[in-house]
Amino acid sequence: MGHSQAQKAETRERLIGEAAAQIRKDGLESVSVAGLMSSAGLTHGGFYRHFGSRSALIAEALRRALSDGEAKAKASVAAAPTGLRASVRSYLSRTHRDSPQTGCAIAALVSDVGRADPAARAVMTERIEAFIGGTARQLGREDDRAAIVAVSAMVGALALSRVLTDPKRSDQVLRTVRDYLIETLGEEA
Amino acid sequence: MGHSQAQKAETRERLIGEAAAQIRKDGLESVSVAGLMSSAGLTHGGFYRHFGSRSALIAEALRRALSDGEAKAKASVAAAPTGLRASVRSYLSRTHRDSPQTGCAIAALVSDVGRADPAARAVMTERIEAFIGGTARQLGREDDRAAIVAVSAMVGALALSRVLTDPKRSDQVLRTVRDYLIETLGEEA
DNA sequence: TGTACATCAGTGAACGCGCGTTCACTGATGTAC
DNA sequence: TGTACATCAGTGAACGCGCGTTCACTGATGTAC
């Protein structure tokens, strides 16, 4: 078995990435040391060559999950730079709803992190502020009141759409909030 | 030790109530059989005289958590029947944010239930629809599009406010969404 | 009304299991000469 | 460039622990006579 320094860094990356995806899909508690290592094709003992403890991994993976989601949002906006309209359309899409592993970690984990320790809340707070700030910039406003409303509605609608058992009703919630935001805020922008 | 039929029903009630509060405070996974029984002053063995399994208890407690939150919302509206204004004010209050154990279980558990099994999602779906329906009624509209937006924004804002580490900023998010909803929807109602 | 008996809420020990963590070991890596 | 050696990523067995669940037991409840 090879294990150069480069390979170590690569393994660490793989572990964090895998844990981040799993966290968004099944929550912070779903990640186990043995499970993570085995899904990376390794045995559990080696875990502690990369992380001091399970909770250190979780902290790192939460950070990754949040910044991945943000990076993806930025990329999608860069690809279709129509400002708010494009962001809202992509955020409140069925694709986003159905792919929590790769989507916005704020919506995927709000209520979990809302009751987590201050360190985890601080990590997500940064990303919420970045989301609000980005939206405010797209709106071209001085104050961020409209952005706060838009972000609350987007996060709420996406999270709710993942609970609703009727797919049509779930679609409708996404569509309704999407149309409302584009119409109401788009005009004033 | 006494254990009449009335006492059994009382014990069961106490267990569900305690589990429901704990679920809203610390999530679905936080409830353990031994912990619940001991916090009710009992030993763990007796648990199975009341519930077939831990997951049966969780299902029951989730249902309770959701209907408690709804009952409370109805009561607060009944006490100050000013319609939407009163509901929004109470929902987006600091008190509500700081008391998840007794507050809206939708906001406390959206992202958890969003990745739970269909049975749990169905239970919460009912309550989301009731929340939307109630809001639509307060708005006096035929269609519920405005209610969907309002509910999304309320749930999103409350959940986000519990993550934000700066209390002032958290207050501001609640206040901003509250004022927005009262102004925008209040006028048209 | 009084007695005998079945029921069953609650007790507490025990179970198997998966968890996070530790540790002695391995062998390829990468450095010192 | 070639050899000797320290490092350390990854292995796999072992640990203590808390979990959900089972079970033989207890004694008050409540019913049958």
> pLDDT tens, position by position, for chain A (189 residues)?
456 788 999 999 999 999 999 999 999 999 999 999 999 999 999 999 999 999 999 999 999 999 988 888 887 777 655 688 999 999 999 999 999 999 999 999 999 999 999 999 999 999 999 999 999 999 988 899 999 999 999 999 999 999 999 999 999 999 999 999 999 986 554
Q: Which of A53, A58, A2 is nearest to A27 (CA)?
A: A58
Q: What is the pLDDT of residue B9?
A: 95
Q: What is the pLDDT of residue B189?
A: 44
- Test the B interface: residue of A149, A164, A187 with most B CBs within 10 Å: A149
Nucleotide minimizing C1' to CA distance for residue A54:
C20
Q: Give dist(CA A189, CA A26) in Å, integer.
A: 37
Using a CB-CB distance cutoff of 8 angstroms, which residues of chain A are in contact with residue B22? Answer: none
Distance A44 CA to D6 C1' (A): 25
Using a CB-CB distance cutoff of 8 angstroms, which residues of chain B are in contact with residue A114? Answer: 100, 108, 159, 162-163
B124-133 long-range contacts (CB < 8 A, ≥24 apart) are: B124/A163, B124/B62, B124/B66, B125/A163, B125/A164, B125/A165, B125/A166, B126/B66, B127/B66, B127/B67, B127/B69, B127/B70, B128/A160, B128/A163, B128/A164, B129/A169, B130/B70, B131/B70, B131/B73, B131/B106
Q: Which of A42, A29, A51 is nearest to A3 (CA)?
A: A42
Residue type, A151: V
Residues 6+ apart with CB under 8 A from B145: A176, A180
Q: What is the pLDDT of residue A187?
A: 57
For chain B, give the percent of residues with pLDDT over 70.
94
> What protein residues sit with their CB closer than 7 Å to strand D?
A 1, 3, 5, 7-8, 11, 37, 42-46, 49-50; B 1-6, 31-35, 44-45, 47-48, 53-55
Parts of chain B with a pLDDT under 70 = 1-3, 79-82, 186-189
CB contact under 8 A, A163 and B121: yes
Using a CB-CB distance cutoff of 8 angstroms, which residues of chain A are in contact with residue B162? Answer: 110-111, 114-115
**Could you give the count of Cα atoms lying within 13 Å of A140 in the half-sphere of its Cβ?**
8
- Total residues found in chain B within this entry: 189
Strand C positions with any atom < 7 Å from protein CB?
A: 8-14, 18-24, 27-30
Nucleotide minimizing C1' to CA distance for residue A10:
D9
